[in-house]
Amino acid sequence: MSRVAYVVFSATTALPVVIAHRGASGYRPEHTLAGYELAARLGADFLEPDLVSTRDGVLVARHEPEIGATTDVAHHPEFTDRFTAKMIDGRRVKGWFAEDFMLAELRTLRAVERIPALRQRNTLYDGRYPVPTFGEVIALAARLSDELGREIGVYPETKCPSYHRGIGRPLEPTLVQALREANLDRPDAPVFVQSFEASSLRALRPELKVPLVQLTETAPLGPADFAEVASYADVIGPDKELIVPRDATGRSAEPTGLVADAHAAGLAVHAWTFRNENHFLPTDLRSTAGRAGYGNALAEYWLFAELGVDGVFTDHPDTAASAISETVVPQAS
């Protein structure tokens, strides 16, 4: 199968691929091996680790360099003096930062739920799971592929790559090395590599044979923008509101032409982020169960599948897999 063919469609159907956003983060603290494993068992096709660097240059799965929001580091008095403030991508951020810790030190920390007010049940698992390395995520995907009898892929993101280059810990060489060592730098490998920064993807393009994904949350996107992205990437990963905007009341508005325009430029479309909770849904799909209650998330997946998206990032992979299994998408000619 060619690289682009794998990008647009899953291995056997034209249905959207299910990408476990930071794992099954609707059910477990994000970026943990337990969350990734649960995601695969719930139907995810890909496990998505955001990658940052430790002081000793090891790639670990965290959503950003600051680790105070997702680990128990604040309760470790031995690391009190590591609290600081840094400029990251134009913002002053206070906290503890992965690049100030050796991997062995990070191993003493445990993950906690990022949004406990909304996902109180996830706090049951606070303090149980360590911070995983990228290598461990790759190994987990391989093991689960064997156990489940279907291919489970990895979908890493270079997180704040310009920042990491600026502090002398570039992410790209270590990422390339990890994929090559795992025999995953192949056109048919179950891998996508994503970034918000085009410079990171441009650096990776000559080094990797796997598809690259340009993430975006910026509108509008015109033909020239898609053509530019297609010069170095294979997929565009838009905020889903760039596909189905919301009006002033928060209701779903008329879909844009983003999916058709991206496809016309030869790009697949993987939209983010789908979640079950009312807090994240458009108002027309919310239930009366409060912010943390579930709304009609299935209808949102059905709409995006009908619009032709090729993949969905989701915190609830079981909901995504269920919705997609009920979706009929014409096979591309």
Confidence of residue 24 (pLDDT cuts 50, 70, 90): very high
Confidence of residue 2 (pLDDT cuts 50, 70, 90): very low
Q: Report the percentage of the chain scoring pLDDT > 70.
A: 94
Q: What is the Cα–Cα distance from 188 to 282, expressed in whole angstroms?
A: 36
Lowest mean pLDDT among 40-44, 218-222, 313-317: 218-222
Average pLDDT over residues 57-72: 99
Asked if the model's pLDDT at residue 312 lies above 50, the reply is yes
Average pLDDT over residues 259-273: 98
* Residues 287, 288, 292, 293, CA torsion sign: negative
* Residue 2 dihedral angles phi and psi, to the nearest 5°: -70, 160
Check residue 333 and give its pLDDT.
Answer: 44
Check residue 328 and give its pLDDT.
Answer: 59
Check residue 179 and give its pLDDT.
Answer: 99
Average pLDDT over residues 84-99: 98
Quick check: bond before 273 cis, omega within 30?
A: yes
Tokens of 3: 């690289």
pLDDT in tens, 168-184: 999 999 999 999 999 99
Q: Could you tell me which residues come within 8 angstroms of residue 69 by beta carbon, excluding any fewer than 6 positions away?
A: 95, 114
Average pLDDT over residues 86-115: 98
Q: Give the domains, in start order, of the chain with CATH numbers.
A: 3-63+128-325 (3.20.20.190)
Tokens 């956003």: give the residue: 21
Check residue 219 and give its pLDDT.
Answer: 74
Check residue 221 and give its pLDDT.
Answer: 86
| Furthest CA-CA distance within the chain | 61
Check residue 245 and give its pLDDT.
Answer: 97
Asked if the model's pLDDT at residue 305 lies above 80, the reply is yes
Check residue 17 and give its pLDDT.
Answer: 98
Check residue 327 and give its pLDDT.
Answer: 75
pLDDT in tens, 203-242: 999 999 999 999 999 877 889 999 999 999 999 999 999 9
Asked if the model's pLDDT at residue 249 lies above 60, the reply is yes
Check residue 74 and give its pLDDT.
Answer: 98
Asked if the model's pLDDT at residue 1 lies above 60, the reply is no
15 vs 147, higher pLDDT: 147
Burial 260-278 (b: 16+ CB within 10 A, else e): ebbbebebbbbbbbbbbbb
CA dihedral 287, 288, 290, 296 (to 10 degrees): -10
What mean pLDDT value characterizes the chain?
94
Q: What is the Cα–Cα distance from 62 to 53, expressed in whole angstroms?
A: 9
What are the CB-based long-range contacts (under 8 Å, 24+) for 88-95?
88/64, 88/160, 88/163, 89/160, 89/162, 89/163, 93/64, 93/65, 93/66, 94/66, 95/66, 95/67, 95/68, 95/69
Asked if the model's pLDDT at residue 7 lies above 90, the reply is no
221 vs 324, higher pLDDT: 324
pLDDT in tens, 276-289: 999 999 999 999 99
Asked if the model's pLDDT at residue 332 lies above 80, the reply is no
